[in-house]
Amino acid sequence: MSVSIDSMPGEKPHVVIKEGAISHIKEYLANTHGAERILLCHSKTLFLKNEYARSFLSDINSLLTCETYMVTGEPSPFMVENAASIIKKTGCQAVVGIGGGSVMDLAKAASAAFFMEHPVKEYLEGIGSLKPDGRRLPLVLVPSTAGTGSEATHNAVLSEPGEYGYKKSLRHPDYAADLAVIDPLLFISVPRHTAFFSGMDAISQLVEAYLSTASDSVSEEYSVRGLELAGQAFEHIITGTSNISIWTKMAEAAYYSGLALSRAGLGLVHGLAGPVGARLPIPHGEACARLIMPVLYRTIKKSEKNKDFIILDKLKKITSLLSCGYRSSPDELIKILDAFFDKAQVTFSPIRIKTDDIDYILNIYSHKNHPCTFTSQEVREILKEGLC
Q: What is the 3-state secondary structure (H, E, C) of 121-183?
A: HHHCCCCCCCCCCCCCCCEEEEECCCCCCHHHCCEEEEEECCCCCEEEEEECHHHCCCEEEEC
Q: Are 83 and 113 in contact (CB under 8 A)?
A: yes
Q: Are 329 and 304 in contact (CB under 8 A)?
A: no
In sequence order, the β-bridge partners of residue 39 are 67, 95
In sequence order, the β-bridge partners of residue 97 are 41, 141
Q: Are 102 and 71 in contact (CB under 8 A)?
A: yes
Residue 250 is predicted with a pLDDT of: 97
In sequence order, the β-bridge partners of residue 231 are none
Q: Are 290 and 385 in contact (CB under 8 A)?
A: no
In sequence order, the β-bridge partners of residue 179 are 14, 140
Residue 245 is predicted with a pLDDT of: 95
Q: Are 136 and 73 in contact (CB under 8 A)?
A: no
Residue 162 is predicted with a pLDDT of: 82
Q: Distance between CA atoms of 224 and 94, rounded to whole angstroms? A: 34
Q: Are 218 and 263 in contact (CB under 8 A)?
A: yes
Q: Residue 185: CB partners within 8 Å, gap ≥ 6?
A: 19, 20, 22, 52, 244
Q: Is the peptide bond before 13 cis (omega within 30 degrees of 0)?
A: yes
294 backbone φψ class: left, alpha, beta (φ>0; ψ -120 to 50): alpha
- Residue ranges and CATH numbers for the domains of the chain are 14-186 (3.40.50.1970), 192-387 (1.20.1090.10)
- b/e 16-45 (16+ beta carbons within 10 angstroms → b): bbbeebbbebbebbbeebebeebbbbbbee
Which amino acid does the sequence have at 293? M
Which amino acid does the sequence have at 185? L
Q: Distance between CA atoms of 102 and 178, rounded to whole angstroms? A: 18
265 backbone φψ class: left, alpha, beta (φ>0; ψ -120 to 50): left
Residue by residue, pLDDT tens for the chain (388 residues) are: 344 454 444 466 899 999 999 999 999 999 999 999 999 999 988 888 888 999 998 889 888 999 999 999 899 999 999 999 999 999 999 999 999 999 999 999 999 999 999 999 999 999 999 999 999 999 999 999 999 999 999 999 999 988 888 999 999 999 999 999 999 999 988 999 999 999 999 999 999 999 999 999 999 999 999 999 999 999 999 999 999 999 999 999 999 999 999 999 999 999 999 999 999 989 999 999 999 999 999 999 999 999 999 999 999 999 999 999 888 899 999 999 999 999 999 999 888 889 999 999 999 999 889 999 999 999 999 999 999 8
Residue 4 is predicted with a pLDDT of: 47
Give the number of C-alpha atoms closer than 13 A to the C-alpha of residue 269, restricted to the C-beta side: 31
> Residue 97: how many CB atoms within 10 A of its CB?
34
3-state secondary structure of 226: helix
Element holding 12 (H helix, E strand): none
Compute φ and ψ for 360, nearest 5 degrees: -65, -45
Residue 3 is predicted with a pLDDT of: 40
Q: Distance between CA atoms of 334 and 115, rounded to whole angstroms? A: 46
In sequence order, the β-bridge partners of residue 2 are none
Residue 11 is predicted with a pLDDT of: 62
Residue 2 is predicted with a pLDDT of: 43
Q: Using only C-alpha atoms, what is the Rg of the chain?
A: 20
Q: Are 201 and 148 in contact (CB under 8 A)?
A: yes
Task: Indicate whether this model's pTM tops 0.75.
Answer: yes
